[in-house]
Amino acid sequence: MFTDGMAQPKDWTHLFENYPDKWVALAEDETTVLAAGETAKDAHAAALKHSSLPILYHVPETSDLFAGYRRLRREALSRFSPEHTIHTIKRYHRQVCGYAYHRPKLELLRAGRLDDKRASNYLTAES
């Protein structure tokens, strides 16, 4: 599994259950809620009692915005072996540019199987 330089995913399901359509101030661990409020200003002011630099996030009313890949994960991962799931590339031109992409997700996106809001025009340009 490729993790070099990439942040680990955070479980925010508790935010959707407890703070729908609210602003939350998170601690440095990005999961602990320091304060919540109707506005970002309210959450920030309350969080300053606990931290000098809280992370502010507006929790959507529902978590369906983030449900694009989970339902297709088993199918997508069956197309590539674990060692071929994350593809990394380095390009050299005046500076070294490194990037990585998730091959199963990209294949589903190109096939139009993921949600439209994740699609981008550049994906079809390089097909």
Look at residue 80 in the predicted model and tell me its pLDDT.
79
Kindly state the DSSP code that residue 119 receives in the 8-state scheme.
-
Look at residue 67 in the predicted model and tell me its pLDDT.
43
Look at residue 125 in the predicted model and tell me its pLDDT.
43
Look at residue 62 in the predicted model and tell me its pLDDT.
73
Q: Any idea of the CA torsion for 59, 60, 63, 69, to the nearest 10 degrees? A: -90
Rounded mean pLDDT for each run of 10 residues along the chain, 127 residues in total: 52 86 90 92 92 88 60 76 79 76 80 59 43
Look at residue 69 in the predicted model and tell me its pLDDT.
63
Rounded alpha-carbon distances, angstroms, from residue 16 to 24, 62, 88: 11, 7, 33
Look at residue 101 in the predicted model and tell me its pLDDT.
76
- The single residue listed with the structure tokens 């506005």 is 39
Look at residue 25 in the predicted model and tell me its pLDDT.
93
Look at residue 63 in the predicted model and tell me its pLDDT.
66
Domain boundaries, the chain: 13-65, 68-125
Look at residue 68 in the predicted model and tell me its pLDDT.
54
Look at residue 115 in the predicted model and tell me its pLDDT.
59
C-alpha closest to that of 60 among 106, 94, 22: 22
Look at residue 7 in the predicted model and tell me its pLDDT.
57
Measured CA to CA, the distance from residue 83 to residue 115 in angstroms comes to 26
Measured CA to CA, the distance from residue 42 to residue 21 in angstroms comes to 14
